[in-house]
Amino acid sequence: MDRLIDHGYEAYVVGGAVRDFLLGRPVHDIDIATAAHPGRVISLFRRTIPTGVKHGTVTVIAHGQTYEVTTFRSESGYSDFRHPNHVRFESSLDKDLMRRDFTINALAMDRSGAIIDLFGGRKDMAERRIRMVGAPEERIHEDPLRIMRGIRFVSELEFTLGDREFAAFQAQAGLLKKISVERLDQEMTRLLAGPAANRAIGLLFATGCFRALPLLKEADLPDPPVALPLLEDDAERWAAFLDGTGVGDVAAFARAWKWSGKLKKRVTAILAFGKIRRAGSWSRMSVYQAGPQCAASVERFLTAGGTFRRDTLENRLKAAGSLWAGLPIHSRSDLAVTGRDLIRWSGRKPGPWLAEVIRTLEKSVVEGAVRNRTEVIKTWFMEQPAAREQKY
C-alpha cells in the first residue's frame, strides 16, 4: 500500500480481510483495491503474477506472502448469472465497494487503519446481521451464488439473515439452478463446517433453496438437528447431512455434486459402517474392514445424529481404537502367506478358488481362529476342501 500510495495511487484493504480483522477472526488472504491499473501494479512490484489482468487482478508477492491487488472496478450486465458482461475500471473506491455482495464484505481500510463504511457494514457487524449492499432482489439476479454465500456466512459467522434478504432468497431460490455445481459444492462444504451450520440448513430449507439444489428436491430438514460441529472433516459432515436429510442414494449424489472419488468413498463407507454399527458393537471383522479412521468417523457420525450419547463418545472412540490395534493383522498384506504359497502347497492352478480361500483365511486370522504363522496357516489350508480339489 505504501508503494502504491507513494506513486500517487489510492489503495485500501478490502473485503474479507477487513471483515475478519474487525471480527477478531484469523485473516487468510489480503485483498487490496487500488486506483492503479494492472500494468502499473506489475511495473511497481518486483514479483507479481498476472492472475486475472483482464478483470484487474494482479497477485503481488512480498514479505513472504501474496496480496491480491485489484483495480477499482464496477460490474454490469450479468446475462449468464455468473460473469458480468462488462468490467469497468473505476477511479474511486465507492464504485468498487458498491459491487460487493454484503455490507460486512464492503468495508475498506486505509493505510492508517481507518475504516471506510459506506453501507452500514459496521452496524450490521455489531448486530450480527447479513445484509446485502443495495436491493437484494437485484443483487441476487446479478449473481445467484450470493444466496449460498449469504447463508454460508450465517453459518461461519453465527450471524442472522436480514428480513429483506430472507424474502429475496426465498423469492429467487430457483435461480440457484443456474449456478455450477462446483461452486455450490464449495459453499455447501463451508456451510456445513460452520458453527451455526444448523441455522444455515434451516435457512436453506425455509427459503426453499433445498429444492433448487441437485438431488435435494425432496430432502427433509433433519429433525432433530444433526450436531454438525461435533464432526471433524467434510466426509463426516456430508455423511451426517445426507443421513439427516434422508438422501438415500449416495452414489447418485456424489455424481450430481461432482465429488472427488476420495470423498465419495469416505462418505459411502461412513454411511455403510454406520448402519452396521447402529445394529451392534464393532466386531473384529467390521473394525478391520472399516479401518481406524473410518471407525472413529462412524462413532462421531452416530453421536452427531443422536444414535449415541455425546458423553460416551470418548470411550467408544477408545474402544474402537483398541479393538483395531489388537487385531493380529491390519491388512491382507500382513498375512504370513501369499497366494503363491497356497498355489505351491496345493499344486493347483490359480483361479477364483484362490481369492475365495484368501478371503476365508483373512477372516479366520482377523477373528483369531487361525494364528498368523506360516506353519499354522499351512496346516489349516491343507484341511480346506480347496487344497484337495482336483488338480489340473
Contact residues for Mg ion, defined by CB under 5 A: 16, 29
The verdict on 84 binding ligand ATP (CB under 6 A) reads no
Segment interacting with ligand ATP (CB under 6 A) among 97-105, 211-219, 332-340, 351-359:
97-105
Element (H, E) at 60: strand 57-62
Q: In terms of CB distance, is 190 or 266 closer to ligand ATP? A: 190
Q: Which stretch binds ligand ATP (CB under 6 A): 54-62, 98-106, 121-129, 168-176?
A: 98-106
168 binds ligand ATP (CB under 6 A): no
Binder of ligand ATP out of 48, 57, 105, 155 (CB under 6 A): 105
* Distance, CA of 79 to CA of 85 (rounded, Å): 7
Which residue in the set 4, 30, 125, 145 belongs to the binding site for ligand ATP (CB under 6 A)?
Answer: 145
> Binding segment for ligand ATP among 143-151, 201-209, 265-273, 352-360 (CB under 6 A)?
143-151
Which of 156/233 has CB closer to ligand ATP? 156
Residue nearer to ligand ATP on the CB measure, 16 or 274: 16
From Mg ion, ligand ATP, none, interface partner of 309 (C-beta below 5 to 8 A by class)? none
Report the alpha-carbon distance of residue 95 to residue 334 in Å, rounded: 65
Q: Alpha-carbon dihedral of residues 280, 282, 284, 288, nearest 10 degrees?
A: 130
Between CA 351 and CA 337 the distance in angstroms is 17
Q: State the nearest-atom distance from the C-beta of 280 to Mg ion, in Å.
A: 46
User: Do 152 and 194 contact (CB within 8 A), yes or no?
Assistant: yes
**Cell numbers found for residue 55:** 478483470
Q: How far apart are CA 100 and CA 222, in angstroms?
A: 33
Among 15, 144, 150, 194, binds ligand ATP (CB under 6 A): 15
Q: Which residue is nearest to ligand ATP (CB)?
A: 16
| CB closer to Mg ion out of 17 and 254 | 17
Closer to ligand ATP by Cβ: residue 151 or 254? 151
Could you tell me which residues are beta bridge partners of residue 66? 61
d(CA 236, CA 182): 19
Under rule CB under 6 A, how many of the chain's residues touch ligand ATP? 12
Q: Which of residues 19-38 bind ligand ATP (CB under 6 A)?
A: 28, 31
Could you tell which of Mg ion, ligand ATP, none binds residue 145, using a CB distance below 5 to 8 A set by kind? ligand ATP
CB under 5 to 8 A by kind: which of Mg ion, ligand ATP, none does 101 bind? Answer: ligand ATP
16 binds ligand ATP (CB under 6 A): yes
Q: Which three three-digit cell numbers place residue 62?
A: 512480498
Phi, psi of 362, deg, nearest 5? -55, -45
Instruction: Please choose which of ligand ATP, Mg ion, none residue 10 contacts, taking the beta carbon within 5 to 8 angstroms, the exact cut-off set by kind.
Output: none
If you count them, how many residues does the chain have? 392
Which of 73, 129, 146, 300 is the binder for ligand ATP (CB under 6 A)?
A: 146
Query: HEC string of 352-376?
Result: HHHHHHHHHHHHHHHCCCCCCCHHH
* Neighbouring C-alpha atoms within 13 Å toward the C-beta of 190: 15
- Which is nearer to ligand ATP, 100 or 316 (by Cβ)? 100
Burial class (CB in 10 A: 0-12, 13-18, 19+), 369: exposed
Choice from 96, 143, 187, 236 touching ligand ATP (CB under 6 A): 143
Identity (one letter) of the amino acid at 88? R
Sign of CA dihedral 297, 299, 303, 307: positive
Q: CA-CA distances (angstroms) from residue 195 to 168, 200, 231?
A: 24, 10, 11
The stretch near ligand ATP (CB under 6 A) out of 101-109, 275-283, 299-307, 382-390 is 101-109
Cα-based torsion angle of the residue sequence 335, 340, 345, 347 in order, rounded to the nearest 10 degrees: 150
- Among residues 9, 12, 58, 100, which is the contact residue for ligand ATP, using CB under 6 A? 100
Question: Smallest distance, Å, CB 97 to ligand ATP?
Answer: 8
- State the Cα–Cα distance between residues 300 and 270, nearest whole angstrom: 10
User: Where do we find the cell 486475472?
Assistant: 52
Instruction: Report the interface residues with ligand ATP, using CB under 6 A.
Output: 15-16, 28, 31, 100-101, 105-106, 143, 145-146, 149
